[in-house]
Amino acid sequence: MNDVYLGNPIYKWLTSAGVIGLSLLFNGLFAKLASKASYRIFRKVSQEQFYEEFSRLLNRPFLNLINLLAIYFSLSHLSFPAEWEMVTKDEFGVRWILHTAFIIACIVVIGDLFLKATSFMEHVYHNLENASISKDLASFLKELTRVLIYIACFFAVLGKAFQVDISALITGLGIGGLAIALAAQDTLANLIGSFIIYLDKPFQIGELIQLGDISGTVEKIGFRTTRIRTVEKSLLIVPNKKIIDSNLNNITQSQQRRVKFTLGLTYQTQASQILSLRDEIRQLIMEAGPLVSDDITVRFIDFDSSSLNILVVYFVNSNSYDVMAEIKEKLNLQIMALVEAHGCQFAYPTQTVFVQN
């Protein structure tokens, strides 16, 4: 056992092989034990029914961490010949490279553990009844936390693996921070806009909204932009700053849809015809059915350049665009029949020249 091979006695080689062998045999058991022990931290916000998902997400990172530790402890007590250039870990050489690679691997695995934990919390809030935060906010917090984890891992690699002075680095970044902030004003404004959207909750993912002349369903709220699937099925990407600065209509949260249009008649129309037509249009809309509200406006409002205008406004008791369009089509056809029955004509942009003898 004390015979030396490659600079180390046999019992050291056997010890290293035994540690790696035990790790390969029992790493699954150790990972499950680690999952059960760490799940206690999340019991206050989750339930036992989510343990399977927790174990599924964190089992692989725990396995990787156990295997890394086993490899490190199995090799750390071995002596490497100087002719292999495996000098101390503080001097550049193969051993330094191995030590640095091990530190980077540990940081990556630990970072992956935290990333999987954020995914688990998102899963909990997406499936937990009476959750304290909404699904959209849970997704947003997950993305924000992931960014912070990536930044923390980056600085940890610089500080622990490459011995970079993080304080001096952050100070140096702070000097150029003002220039970066000035160059990224729009990006910062959009980031602040995303916080306002999640806190104020003017809309949520899956809701139908109208932004200016654009109507569509919200698909994703990101750090910089919001993705909206329009009624034409195209994907509209809108900066968050523009959303919070614009008038927004949340159609999904509305109980009614308004129908408003102007009925233009020619100047040959008599006043009695207009009054009769006005009353019959109002009566027609009132009898349209339970999906049409009693809040109806039909008024002769304007002398336009080429038409006499009747304003028609009514509300459909549904936020469905298809239902509104169907009712509007039915009433429009009936209004056309009324106009024809009264001997009136629709106006269009024309000019009439009267020649006096």
Rounded CA-CA distance 347/230 in Å is 33
Rounded CA-CA distance 294/209 in Å is 25
Report angle CA 255, 261, 266 to the nearest 5 degrees: 160
End-to-end CA distance of the chain: give it in Å, rounded: 132
Rounded CA-CA distance 52/36 in Å is 10
Domain 202-250 shares a fold with domain 257-341: no
In order, the DSSP letters of 148-185 are: HHHHHHHHHIIIIIS---HHHHHHHHHHTHHHHHHHTH
Strand order in the sheet with 257-265: 257-265, 308-316, 297-303
For residue 321, the surrounding DSSP H or E stretch is helix 321-341
Class of domain 257-341: alpha beta
Mapped to the 3 state alphabet, what secondary structure does 3-47 carry? CEECCEEHHHHHHHHHHHHHHHHHHHHHHHHHHHHHHHHHCCCCC
Q: State the pLDDT at residue 83.
A: 53
Query: Which tokens belong to 8?
Result: 């180390």
Q: Is the pLDDT of residue 183 over 80?
A: no
Rounded CA-CA distance 170/197 in Å is 30
pLDDT tens figures, 31-66: 888 888 888 877 776 667 788 888 888 888 888 888
The domain spans of the chain are 4-175, 202-250, 257-341
Q: State the pLDDT at residue 263.
A: 93
Mean pLDDT score of the chain, rounded to an integer? Answer: 81
pLDDT tens figures, 266-308: 988 999 999 999 999 999 999 988 899 888 999 999 998 889 9
Q: State the pLDDT at residue 332.
A: 94
Q: Which fold has domain 202-250?
A: SH3 type barrels. (2.30.30)
Q: State the pLDDT at residue 339.
A: 93
Among 326, 335, 330, 263, residue whose Cα is nearest residue 300: 263
